[in-house]
Amino acid sequence: MYIPPSLSLDVYTSIFDYLESAIDFSVPVMLCGDFNIPEISECVTGTRTTQLFNIYTQFLALNNLVQHNSILNRNNRILDLVLTTESLTVTVDKQELTLVTEDNHHPALNIQLELVNLDSVPFVHGTDDLRFNFHRGNLEGLYLSLAGTDWLPVLDAADPTLACEKFNEIIFTNISQYVPISKSFGQRENYPVWYTRSVINKIKTKNRHWDIYRKTKSVYHLDKVKKLRCEIRKDIRYTYYEFIRKSETSLQSHPKKFWSFVNEKRKPRMFLVS
């Protein structure tokens, strides 16, 4: 996508609002293009902050997106963004060999997206299926079992594909013995830890109204989308600061809550150095 330079904050807000409503970010999504937000490279390092950058980061946080491109242009800026939902694995490198003359403002990028067939991976299940619950597993027993495993079937495999199959089979068998299986409840893990059930339900309701509006062009459903969007932003802001407050006050009595927040914040949503 392309956003022209020097647009007003209201126009940027409208663009992000449209993307938020038009795209279902609960499924894997990749969004690339020239967003023309030149201050991003400065703002992510903390040397500067702007209203536009705040609008941009709010869009990322609301939809659980990560920005992967860290390649600077000749003005030490980043105009081309590579946004994805957190479930996707992406690497962005500088493309040295180009077919055309490289633009000073837009360095050539080599974007690699890793596609995985989840149905073929024994450790990944559907969001409404069963999954291994490592929090309740006998990890010591698992480690001892793996230490005593005979790895010759893997080492003696005739080709890499067979070796990988044998390796996965051994790992899966050991995990099955020492880690219980629990039911996964929907897509809760796709949202930041401070999103409450109420916030998630509002997001889903807003998406349903938007789907109906796209089909019927009903003003009623469009108004519902706009109203819910405002409510969601306020709710997310409140739940975020409330989560911080509770994490700070319960640091001694409930350290797991604090570290869940720390681990969530360690995820580089805006900038991943490739």
Q: What is the total count of domains within the chain?
A: 3
The predicted pLDDT at position 125 comes to 42
Whether residue 27 is found in the same domain as residue 105: yes
Residue 82 falls within a domain, yes or no? yes
Tens of pLDDT, residue by residue over 144-169, are: 999 999 999 888 888 888 888 889 88
3-state DSSP assignment of residue 114 = strand
Tens of pLDDT, residue by residue over 52-85, are: 998 898 888 777 788 999 999 989 999 999 999 8
Residue 78 falls within a domain, yes or no? yes
The predicted pLDDT at position 10 comes to 92
Q: Which domain holds residue 50?
A: 9-117
Whether residue 175 is found in the same domain as residue 202: no
The predicted pLDDT at position 263 comes to 63
Whether residue 204 is found in the same domain as residue 221: yes
Which residue, 69, 86, 117, sits at the end of a domain? 117
Please state, in angstroms and rounded to a whole number, the distance separating the CA atoms of residues 192 and 188.
8
CATH of the domain at 13: 3.60.10.10
Strand arrangement of the beta sheet that strand 30-34 belongs to: 30-34, 80-85, 65-67
Whether residue 94 is found in the same domain as residue 38: yes
